Structure 1
Amino acid sequence: MSVPPPPEPITGARLLFSLDPAVSHLNHGSFGAVPIVAQRAQQRLRDEMEADPLRFFTQGLVDRIAHTRRHLAGFLGADPDGTALTTNATTGAAVVLQSLGLRSGDEVLTTDHGYGAVAYSIRRECHRTGATHRVLRVPLTATDDEVVQIVRDGLRPGRTRLLVVDQLTSATARLFPVAAIVGVAGEHGVPVLVDAAHAPGMLPASVRSIGADFWVGNLHKWGYAPRGTAVLVVATPWRDRIEPLVVSWEQDSGFPARLEWQATSDYTAWLSAPAGLYTLRSLGVDRVRAHNAGLAAYGQRVVGDALGVPPADLPDPGGPTVAMRLIPLPAGLATTLDGARALQTRIAERLATQVAVTTWDGRGWLRLCGQVYNTPEEYQRLAFGLPGLLVQR
């Protein structure tokens, strides 16, 4: 079966980034790439900060942060009063976990598609409080209805104090029906934290429409913001209970300022985030989403064909705007975290290509992303060189 054609490129988009042209950057989902306009906006803010630090930090900075927060919340379809800026999704999840007041006998429920760093945070909080962490197994091929039923069957009302579910999973590029899951959990009185690390900029869903108790997403991936820019959105009943990981001078101001203000932190990434969104809007949000999803699908087929993976065995991400795709690796490869990291490094060093290699359900997977700075030829070069590299144990 022939590979479908790639999408039409977005002319000039590659020139908006300062990425090394000698490397194929096919892993936007891990650390993103900051457009030059956002880099320059951040540098101007850093210059302002260093020119007069006392003035920068003490005259209007809280208001500038609040203005940025409202701008980002508007883009995400979130309530600005319930939105707080934070550094990344993992930090936002940690804030929620330590604000719950977990006790012995409580449990935090997740799926086996959850992000590893969030799982570490859950385990630490459970160890500290005596709560337990229980994991639901969700097959990669499960339908949305099956996923919802698995969650429904796994809830333990009165004991399950929090359900953590990914909107778009990092390890498996799986799109979860989070609005339906939130509805089911709400019927049983179980609050939900949606880990939407990859959603802002890639997925069109409004945060309000999901209705989660807590929703956390990164702007520094698909939203083109400088790294260290994320938001935690909290439903009204929980806002007074949210406490920062470190108490500082805005503590008495309540949420969200008490969470955002961390004294001498560098706030320039947050303040320049609108410049990243400006780039996305200038290119056309819907146009970028369609291009990136189409290019990731093209790359998946090209590389999958080179590895002898039938199209039927290439996982479907479950949505037309998902710009990350998985390819199963040959049996025995990257079955551990260390093995996955080693293979990812080998691909980077020998093929000059940055990809993500993940381990899930006892198997190694290659995760490819599509972004406006990528070209079909980059996936073709990976497809040409990867089979030979994989046989070199």
Structure 2
Amino acid sequence: MSAPEPPVTLPGARLLFSLDPGVSYLNHGSFGAVPIGVQRAQQRLRDEIESNPLRFFAQGLSDRVIHTRRHIASFLGADPELSALVPNATTAVSLVLNSVRLESADEVLLTDHSYGAVAMAARRRCRRAGATVRTVALPMPATDAELISRVRAALRPGRTKLLIIDQLSSATAMAFPVREIVAAAHEHEIPVLVDAAHVPGMLPVDVASIRADFWVGNLHKWAFAPRGTALLSVAAGWRRKIEPLVVSWDQDQGYPHAVESQGTVDYTPWLAAPAGLFTLRTLGWEEVRAHNAALAAYGQRVVGEALEVPVAELPQPAGPDISMRIVPLPAGLATTAPEAQELRQHIADKLAVETAVNAWGGRGLLRLSAQVYNRADEYDRFAERLPQLLHDYRA
């Protein structure tokens, strides 16, 4: 079966970015790419700081952070008074783990799709508390009903003190029915942290309706914010239990101020984030989502065909808006994290193509992202050259 037609390129979109024209950047999902206008907005904030640092930090900074938080929370359908700006999703995960009481008989439940740094943070927290981390294996692909059933069966009421579930997984680009999973866990009064690192800017979301105890999403991946911008939202019952990882002058004000106020931390990514949302809206968010999802599907198909992966074995996302797609690599390639990193770097060095390569379930997975600066011919060229590169790499 031939690849679907690629979407029409959004006029002028590529000119909004300062990416190296000599590199095909097919990995927006890892670190994003900041539009030039947002870069300039952040630089103006840096210039403002250096013109009078005392004035910037001592006069009105808190109000500006609050205003920004409200703007971002509104975009995500979250309660701004129950939300806090944080540097990234992994920081939020550590905040949550630090705030959940764990004892020796307790456990934190993950899935085998969980992000590596999240799993590491859970293991460290449990090790210090004498608790355990348990991982439930979930198939790929799977129906929503299968995912809900398997997670529900893995819960251990009385022992499971926290469930961490992805809304859209990083390594496997799978969407999870988080609203239903949260409801299943709450039947046993088990709190849930939803790791939605890839959701803001890619998927429409109403955080409040998910009813998770904790929800965190990065703005720097798909919402065009500077790196270092994420939003943590907590349920009302947890507000007084969230303790910042570092104590600063606003500690006595409690969440969210105690979390956001961190002395001389760089606040410019947060304050420039609304410029990223403005860029997204100017391009037309629905148009951006449709373009990116269609282009990712095109890239998956042409690369999959080049690697002779049957169409039935190309994982399909659960929703129409997902801008990351997976192509399984030939057996024996990138089966461990170090091997995946080595292959990713080899592809970058030899083909001038930035991709994501992950090891999952004993199989190497190539993850392709699509953003408005990408073109169909980048995936075509990659598909033409990748088979020979992999053949030589294995030789």
Runs of 4+ in 1 over 6 A off after TM superposition: none
Name structure 1 gaps, 5 residues minimum: none
- What secondary structure does 1:170 align onto? coil
2:27 is matched with which residue? 27
Instruction: Give the AA of the match of 1:23.
Output: V
Partner of 2:375: 375
Using the size of structure 1 for normalisation, the TM-score is: 0.99
Deviation at 1:3, TM superposition (A): 1.1
- Number of the residue aligned with 1:37: 37
**Structure 2 counterpart SS, 1:161:** strand
Aligned twin of 1:116: 116
**Shift of residue 39 of structure 1?**
0.3
1:335-366 deviation per Cα after TM superposition (whole angstroms, max 9, x unaligned):
01111001000110111100000000000010
Query: What is the TM-score normalised by the length of structure 2?
Result: 0.99
* Correspondence for 1:356: 356
Tell me whether 357-366 or 97-106 shows the greater mean CA deviation: 97-106
SS of aligned partner of 1:164: strand
Corresponding position of 2:132: 132
Aligned residue identity for 2:228: G
Distance (Å, rounded) in 2 between the aligned partners of 1:333 and 1:119 = 23
Equivalent in the alignment of 1:319: 319
Query: Do residues 105 (structure 1) and 100 (structure 2) align?
Result: no
Distance 1:290 1:240 in 2: 40
- Structure 1 residue aligned with 2:302: 302
Q: Which amino acid aligns with 1:229?
A: T
In 1, Cα distance between equivalents of 2:41 and 2:2: 44
Pairing 1:204–2:183 present: no
- Code of the residue aligned with 2:160 in structure 1: it is T
Deviations 1:158-187 (A, max 9, x none): 110000000000010000000010010111
C-alpha offsets along residues 23-71 of structure 1, whole Å, 9 cap, x if unaligned?
A: 0000000000001111000000000001111111111101110000000
Partner in structure 1 of residue 240 of structure 2: 240
Deviation at 1:208, TM superposition (A): 1.1
Question: What is the letter of the counterpart of residue 107 of structure 1?
Answer: E
Partner SS for 2:34: coil
Distance (Å, rounded) in 2 between the aligned partners of 1:309 and 1:151: 30
Q: Distance in 1 between matches of 2:292 and 2:250?
A: 40
Q: State the SS of the aligned residue for 2:40.
A: helix
Q: CA deviation at 1:102?
A: 1.1
Aligned to 1:83: 83
Alignment of 1:159-178 (within 5 A): 159-178=159-178
Q: AA paired with 1:310?
A: P
Quick one: which amino acid aligns to residue 75 of structure 1?
A: F
Aligned to 2:223: 223
The number of residue pairs the alignment matches comes to 393
Q: Which letter maps to 1:184?
A: A
**2:385 maps to which residue?**
385
Percent of matched pairs sharing the same residue: 65
Structure 2 counterpart of 1:213, one-letter code: D
After superposition, residues 149-164 of structure 1 pair within 5 angstroms as 149-164=149-164
Q: How far, CA to CA, are the matches of 2:237 and 2:87 in structure 1?
A: 23
Q: Deviations over 1:127-186 (max 9, x none)?
A: 000111000000012210010000111111111000000000001000000001001011
Cα-Cα RMSD: 0.6
In structure 2, runs of 5+ residues without a counterpart are none
2:193 alignment counterpart = 193
